[in-house]
Amino acid sequence: MTEPPAGATTLLRDSPMTALQITTVGICLLINLIDGFDVMAIAFAAPELARAWNLSPAALGIVFSAGVAGMTGASILLAPVADYIGRRATILMGLGVVTLSMAASAIAAAPEALAIFRFCTGLGVGVLLPSLNTMVAEFASDRRRELAVAIMQAGFPLGAVLGGFAALFLQSSFGWQGVFWAGALLSGVMIPLVLLWLPESLDFLLSRRDSDALTRVNALLARLGRNPLSALPTPVMADAGRGYAVLGDPRVATRLGALCAAFFFQLAAFYFVTSWTPKLLVDGGLDATTGISGGILLNVAGATGGVLLGWAAWRFGARPLTVGFMLFTCVSMFLFPWAQSLAAMLTMAALMGFFVVGGMMGLYSLTPALFPPGMRATATGLAVGFGRFGAILGPLATGFLLEAGWAPREVYQLFCLPPLVAAAALWVLHRRLVSE
């Protein structure tokens, strides 16, 4: 028996998720978790590196920034590759780049070389994130899409947290190089797992329509336990473009513009909170261990918030929930500096993490459904890449404000504004989509 061509377009959207779909989400979750470790590896190794190489804060800052610069460039310039060669092939390419650059970082003999290798690591991670996000969104059912993307995105902060604990052992046994060797090994192990068990996206195969597309689609349908198609479905007009080519569509440009604004301001708030809160807790009178504990608590609470948002999105809608998380981010950031006791400070830090990370993960979860398959990775990469300028600006502006004499309380009150602007941009997008 064969299924009618139109059946393929509703296969993953309307049916319960199969073991292959769940496995796909699980593999992408593992890769994102390792990416969280890889991105934060320099932070874990920084104290030992600074002592070993006698690095000044400025030199260390360049090494820190190199990875973010690579991620930003890759998100904007290289993410469209996934819309041309496929999500699976792009994920393999990103893993290869990360594996090699993490290994090269472990044998770097000078800060200049390490900065170059960290830039390359950022390129690999910047290619991976839009592809992973798109792959999970395209393999999940309609009912579980936001939850699946949120679970995958939770891997990044959890990887950073677990990496912090692992780094204590690695550096004591193998020096700062051990952190980078571990990242290279973990990324390298994922390559054969992807080759063996990660399929190509059905949406991509149907959109790309290569000469062997029907054969590849039917092979994937067989793995999903479904009957083959007799022919490929007729593509809709919205899927005719690919990559940057469809940005001329006014509806696409409007959606992407609103998302870029939302990502920019939400990531500015996110990186301000996650970068500066542990230090400002210490500056407020807590010891260093408690400050680090506050940072860990913030990330764990954030991952929890993102998963809960994804779980509730099928009932209440991802866009209104994400707007709500952004508004509560404003409230929690405003109240945090007023906390006096240790318990109150840690509680407010957890609430800030819950809402600011949850809001960011909500943006990731709703992005793929707004665009046709031929430009999903491109749109995600552009939105995230533009948002990373906010990620750079937020912590940087904080340093200048504190140096100019601003009190931490005033800085937190100022940074209540970015998530408010992000919520406004997303709400305007939501109302526009509802009216279409």
- CA dihedral angle for residue 62, residue 64, residue 67, residue 68, rounded to 10 degrees: -100
With beta carbons less than 8 A apart as the criterion, state whether 302 and 266 touch: no
Residue 370 DSSP symbol: G
Q: For the stretch 233-264, what's the b/e string if a residue is b when 16 or more beta carbons lie within 10 angstroms of its beta carbon?
A: beeeeebebbbeebeebeebeebbebbbbbbb
pLDDT value of residue 11 = 62
pLDDT at 7: 55
In angstroms, the CA 152 to CA 432 distance is 28
> Does this chain's domain 7-235 share its CATH topology with 243-435?
yes
pLDDT, tens only, 392-431: 888 878 888 888 888 888 989 999 999 999 999 999 998 8
**Level-2 CATH architecture, domain 243-435:** Up-down Bundle (1.20)
Q: List, for residues 105-120, the tens digit of each pLDDT value.
A: 999 999 999 999 999 9
Mean pLDDT, the chain, whole residue set: 85
| Six token digits for residue 76 | 């904007």
Per-range mean pLDDT, top range of 161-165, 245-249, 250-254, 356-360:
356-360
pLDDT at residue 287 in the model = 64
Confidence of residue 275 (pLDDT cuts 50, 70, 90): confident
Q: Mean pLDDT: which of 24-33, 66-75, 338-347 is highest?
A: 24-33
Domain locations along the chain: 7-235, 243-435
Q: How far apart are CA 25 and CA 19, in angstroms?
A: 10
Sign of torsion, CA 176 177 178 179?
positive
Selected residue with higher pLDDT from 239 and 417: 417
Give the list of residues 6+ apart from residue 359 with CB closer than 8 angstroms, or none. Answer: 266, 270, 309, 322, 325, 326, 329, 419, 422
pLDDT value at residue 56? 79
For residue 222, how far is the Cα from the chain centroid?
A: 31
pLDDT, residue 245, reads 66
Residue 231: alpha-carbon gap to chain centroid: 36
Q: What is the mean pLDDT of residues 249-274?
A: 88
At 354 the pLDDT is 92
What percent of the chain is modeled with pLDDT above 90?
A: 34
pLDDT, average across residues 10-29: 85
Give the pLDDT of residue 238.
Answer: 47
Q: What are the tens digits of pLDDT across the range 168-207?
A: 778 778 888 998 999 999 999 999 999 999 999 888 888 8
Does position 436 have pLDDT exceeding 80, yes or no?
Answer: no
CA-to-CA dists, residue 18 to 136, 197, 217, 356, angstroms: 13, 14, 16, 32
pLDDT digits (tens, 9 = 90+) for 48-96: 888 889 887 677 778 877 888 899 999 989 888 998 899 999 999 999 9
Q: How many residues does the chain have?
A: 436
* Residue range 14-42: mean pLDDT, rounded: 89
pLDDT on residue 237: 44
* Residue 139 clears pLDDT 70, i.e. is over it: yes
Q: pLDDT category, 330, cuts 50, 70, 90?
A: very high
pLDDT at residue 284 is higher than 70: no
User: Mean of the pLDDT values across residues 227-235?
Assistant: 73
- Higher-pLDDT residue of 10, 371: 371
Residue 249 CA to residue 64 CA, distance in Å, equals: 38
Cα distances from 42 to residues 36, 63, 111, 127, 188, in angstroms, run: 11, 8, 12, 19, 19
CATH of domain 7-235: 1.20.1250.20
Interval 116-141 mean pLDDT: 93
- Which residue is listed with tokens 């709400």? 427
Between 291 and 299, the more confident residue is 299
- In this predicted structure, what is the pLDDT of residue 332? 92
Tell whether the model's pLDDT for residue 286 goes beyond 80: no
Tell me the two tokens of residue 31.
Answer: 């890769």
